[in-house]
Structure 1
Amino acid sequence: MTDISGRIAGRLRALRQGRGWSLDRAAQATGVSKAMLGQIERGESSPTVATLWKIAAGFETSFSALLEDAPQGEGMLLRSSAGGDWPTDDGSIQVRSLFPYDPALGIEFFVIELQPGACHQSVPHAAGVTEHVIPVSGSLEVCVDGRWQAVARGEGLRFAADRPHAYRNGGSAPVLFHNLIHYRHSQAAPCGPGSGAL
């Protein structure tokens, strides 16, 4: 079992047990099969980005809280996204955490790289969740409610993420972009051992 698989396994188990849910109930809430959830909890399977989003949405928790502890302390906090790759589906998208979910602020911040020709579909997040997308290099397209919007370097796009949305790179080079996700404070329940769901 890799370190990341072990962290995900422990947090998923704590989330499920904190709610008193069976694997069947968790499967109904997340849309992830009972068999797959069991494999993840036992550390036998490393879930993809899409699967992790389904789990986070079903449990109404943040994506990064499934993998990382919230930042501690106040004042300045310097972090690097280097070496922080998270599970990817097929190598077409690379997700790194710059700032994991902070319950005091209700946000998490990612650095995402989308390969040429890639299109990544995202499941709807909980009601009221907002995303902010800011390209750092290149240009990408974001689809919300079936409408594609081009977003170039130097621009930013904010949208309601509680509906199906997607990211697409139609260029010939990878696109690097920042993704800030804002949750209502009552939405993203902590995932640590012994934590309950809000």
Structure 2
Amino acid sequence: MSPNDGAPLAIIAAALQRERHRAGLSLAEVARRAGIAKSTLSQLEAGVGNPSIETLWALSTTLNVNFARLVEPPRNTVTLVRAGSGPSVASGTADYRTALLSAGPPGARRDLYLITAEPDRTHRSAPHAAGVVEHLVLGTGRALVGPAEDPVELGPGDYLGYPGDIPHLFRALAPGTTAVIVSEHI
């Protein structure tokens, strides 16, 4: 593969370094696990060499990332949504609003939401797709959250992970309650 074949070597080099550091692995360990020479990996991380598709697939498997993460340029690396400025959607059954802060890019399996709620009624959610897990961190206030059959009371800073593919609920117990939810699609 050469720079004119579609995936510039600089993008591959940066991606390999980024993903290797993210995984906390040494150059030698990644090379060993991928079944390539350490010198080959060193050259690729330096932006030189001629990686084959097989080498890149072996590296993506070893680093536990999609192949595309090694050959596509990074997308928006910084996204800012100021408090109260993102579009939000209100519940029809409770004083509860959700704003999508970040949709997972193609191939990703997560979405990030900001929840604002006031104590009045319980917001009940029908089961989402099979395998969905929700991760919630309460920012302010207090809330009753989780599976409809066994919700948990949370305070600021508390984290709760629960299956999103069963009926679940969110009930603010204090004015000005906020939370961040990551919806993970397994």
- Once the 2 structures are TM-superposed, how far is the Cα of residue 116 of structure 1 from its aligned partner? 1.7
For each residue in 1:19-66, what CA deviation from the matched residue of structure 2 results, as whole angstroms up to 9, or x when unmatched?
xxxxxxxxxxxxxxxxxxxxxxxxxxxxxxxxxxxxxxxxxxxxxxxx
1:158 is aligned to 2:161:
yes
C-alpha distance 109-134 of structure 1, shift in aligned 2 (>3 A): same
CA 1:91–1:124: 2 relative to 1, 3 Å: closer
Q: Letter of the aligned partner of 1:180 in structure 2? A: V
Structure 1: runs of 5+ lacking an equivalent: 1-71, 185-198
2:102 aligns with 99
Q: Are the structure 2 counterparts of residues 73 and 118 from structure 1 closer, same or farther at C-alpha, using a change threshold of 3 Å? A: farther
In 2, are the aligned partners of 1:138 and 1:152 still within 8 Å (CA)? yes
CA distance in 2, matches of 1:125, 1:158: 15
Q: Does structure 1 residue 112 correspond to structure 2 residue 95? A: no
Q: Is the 8 A contact 2:111 2:182 kept in 1?
A: yes
Q: Which contiguous aligned blocks of 4+ residues in structure 1 show a shift greater than 3 angstroms?
A: none
1:1-198 mapped onto 2 (5 Å cutoff):
73-74=74-75, 76-80=77-81, 82-89=85-92, 92-171=95-174, 173-184=175-186
Which letter maps to 2:164? A
The Cα of 1:162 is off from its aligned counterpart by 0.6
CA contact (8 A) 1:142 1:148 kept: yes
Alignment size in residue pairs: 112
Who is 1:29 aligned against? none
Code of the residue aligned with 2:133 in structure 1: it is: T
Q: Is the Cα contact below 8 Å between 1:79 and 1:99 reproduced in 2?
A: no
Deviation of the 1:75 alpha carbon: 5.4
Higher relative contact order (CA 8 A, sep 6+): 1
**84-93 or 151-160, larger mean C-alpha shift:** 84-93
Report if aligned partners of 2:148, 2:169 keep a CA contact under 8 Å in 1. no
Q: Which has the larger radius of gyration?
A: 2
1:140 & 1:87 partners in 2: Cα distance? Answer: 17
The structural deviation recorded for 1:127 is 1.1
1:122 shift after superposition: 0.1
Give the C-alpha shift of residue 90 in structure 1.
Answer: 5.2
Q: Distance in 2 between matches of 1:119 and 1:77?
A: 35
Partners of 2:180 and 2:79 in 1: CA distance: 16
TM-score (norm 2): 0.54
Q: Corresponding residue for 2:54?
A: none
